[in-house]
Amino acid sequence: MYEWLKIIHILSGAVLFGTGAGIAFFMLRAHMTRNVVTMAAVGSIVVLADFVFTATAVVVQPISGLGLIHLQGYSLTEPWLMAAYGLYVLIGICWLPVVWIQMELAKMAKRAQVEGEALPPRYFSLFRIWFILGWPAFAGVIGIYWLMVAKPVF
């Protein structure tokens, strides 16, 4: 049971990290084209990927993590686990608005495509917020990986 749970936990962590990195790459590259057709298409794919992959991993991670904590006999209040919980919350605080922003960006790009107009200034403001929120989320995921591997004593 432990090995299966650990595999699930590692794979869902990889999905969380990989999907996040992939979404960031593709959104940034689409944005850089300034082509509203590309931006609309990539934006809608990114939103779908976030719901299918990221959201699933967000649910699986704490469930599998709690199972591993129990099977390994750790206390839920180990300092390194408390730090991981804090980072997980930070990531969530960043991710939730990012998902909403991605939906808005995709809608604005699609509207600009259909109407043959330029993107509104709001698109670029939201994109900057999206970009900024990605950094603490990315660093948080790296921090959790480090905590899981190192299990430091504070």
Could you tell me what percent of the chain has a pLDDT over 70? 100
Domain range enclosing 23 = 2-150
Angle among Cα 133, 111, 24 to the nearest 5 degrees reads 25
Are the C-beta atoms of residues 43 and 109 closer than 8 Å to each other?
A: yes
CA distance 61 to 71: 15
Query: Do 39 and 33 form a contact (C-beta atoms < 8 A)?
Result: yes
Predicted confidence at residue 154, as pLDDT, reads: 83
CB burial string 29-67: b at 16+ within 10 A, e below: ebbeeeebebbbbbbbebbebbeebbeebbebbeebbeb
Mean per-residue pLDDT over the chain, rounded:
96
* 30 neighbors 11 (Cβ within 8 angstroms): no
- For 21, 38, 47, 150, the CA distances from 78, given in Å and listed in that order, are 29, 46, 35, 13
- The three-point CA angle 55-20-103 to 5° equals 65
Model confidence pLDDT, tens digit, residues 119-154: 999 999 999 999 999 999 999 999 999 999 999 998
Amino acid letter for position 68: L
Q: What is the pLDDT of residues 13-50, one digit of tens each?
A: 999 999 999 999 999 999 999 999 999 999 999 999 99
Q: Looking at the 3D structure of the chain, how many domains does it have?
A: 1
Q: Can you tell me the mean pLDDT for 3-17?
A: 96
pLDDT higher than threshold 90 for residue 68: yes
